[in-house]
Amino acid sequence: MNAMNHKACFGKMVPDQIGVGERVGKVFSVRIDNPAGMMRSRPNIETDVKQWDDCRKCSEFESCYQLCMAKIALDATVAAKH
């Protein structure tokens, strides 16, 4: 299989992993604080709308978005199994 050349930001709209701490993607960032006692902490999700608009203009947007969604689905599946 031949690899295509993609932009350096390809597939990076969302963070690579979600977990405690701050995880940053090009468009979406997630911060999850350590739980306090028995209370679960709520995630803080931020969206960089300017970056989103820039991504939407990119010729690779559809493919990049699909890759990001696949990464999210895989992350959710792995998290549910462990």
Segment 12-31, tens digit of pLDDT: 999 988 778 899 999 999 99
Q: What are phi and psi of 79, to 5 degrees?
A: -65, -35
The position carrying tokens 């999210």 is 72
- Which of the two residues, 82 and 60, has the higher pLDDT score? 60
Confidence of residue 1 (pLDDT cuts 50, 70, 90): very low
Residue at 2 is within a domain: no
Total tally of structural domains belonging to the chain: 1
Average pLDDT of the chain is 91
Residue at 15 is within a domain: no
Q: What is the largest CA-CA distance in the chain?
A: 51
Residue at 9 is within a domain: no
Residue at 12 is within a domain: no
Q: Which residues is 36 bridged to in the sheet?
A: 39
* Domain residue limits at 77: 21-81
Residue at 8 is within a domain: no
Residue at 7 is within a domain: no
Residue at 74 is within a domain: yes
